A and B are shown apart, each in its own frame.
Chain A
Amino acid sequence: EAGVAQSPRYKIIEKRQSVAFWCNPISGHATLYWYQQILGQGPKLLIQFQNNGVVDDSQLPKDRFSAERLKGVDSTLKIQPAKLEDSAVYLCASSLRPVETNEKLFFGSGTQLSVL
């Protein structure tokens, strides 16, 4: 079974530039998550999609971050303009159903963003 695919693997940009990350979840997974992981910390949820609708974006800095999930499959996360504090690993995860006792999250390897 193919896992969660993310690209690019690494990205280096200067502050105030824009950047986009792409995620392809496991086939058939209805729920997709974007997490931000700053060095030395655990992942922090940015946004959760159920099919192509947003379930939770309460921690997404909406003045600069945006995300979409077209046709309930692939998703893109965009930052515009980037700040130095956005340097982090951006992780995409998917799960089959959002509210299940045995729900498991499946994560991609992430995109490491460096903002200079």
Chain B
Amino acid sequence: DAKTTQPNSMESNEEEPVHLPCNHSTISGTDYIHWYRQLPSQGPEYVIHGLTSNVNNRMASLAIAEDRKSSTLILHRATLRDAAVYYCILRDVNYGQNFVFGPGTRLSVLP
């Protein structure tokens, strides 16, 4: 499985944008980049995914570097409810790989 590297923790102020980085220097051409987050005492939930182009949805934006060796999850306006562990996962659909979760980034949002 291709590996990802994320900072252990980050802090943000409420109502400010948050940029969560993920490095994946060994990414293959068919690896999709997925982001999940896990709120306290809950199971992980889907946030966003992409392959090459930047992606937007109602929760967040995903910015993918041109060489695809890194990506950034962007929360445009952090709320207290966004405090969670964020997981960046690579998944090669061609090989039917399962989702392999690393330790993720613990995001704290300060009021």
Contacts and interface: CB of A to CB of B under 8 A. Distances in A.
Contacts of B44: 43, 91, 93, 105, 107
Interface residues of B, number: 21
A98 interface: yes
A42 B101 contact: yes
Contacts of A98: 96
A25 interface: no
Contacts of A45: 98-100
B46 A40 contact: no
B45 interface: yes
Contacts of A43: 44, 101
Interface residues of A, number: 26
B45 A109 contact: no
Given A40-B103, A56-B98, A102 B49 contact: yes
A109 B38 CA distance: 10
A100 interface: yes
Secondary structure at the B interface, as helix, strand, loop or mixed, is loop
Contacts of B85: 42
Contacts of B45: 106-107
Secondary structure at the A interface, as helix, strand, loop or mixed, is loop
B104 A4 contact: no
B111 interface: no
Nearest to B103: A42
Contacts of B96: 98-99
A35 B51 CA distance: 25
A100 B93 contact: yes
A4 B43 CA distance: 10
A12 B13 CA distance: 38
B102 interface: yes
Contact of A42 (B32, B46, B104): B104
Interface of A: 4, 33, 35, 40-45, 48, 56, 91, 93, 98-110
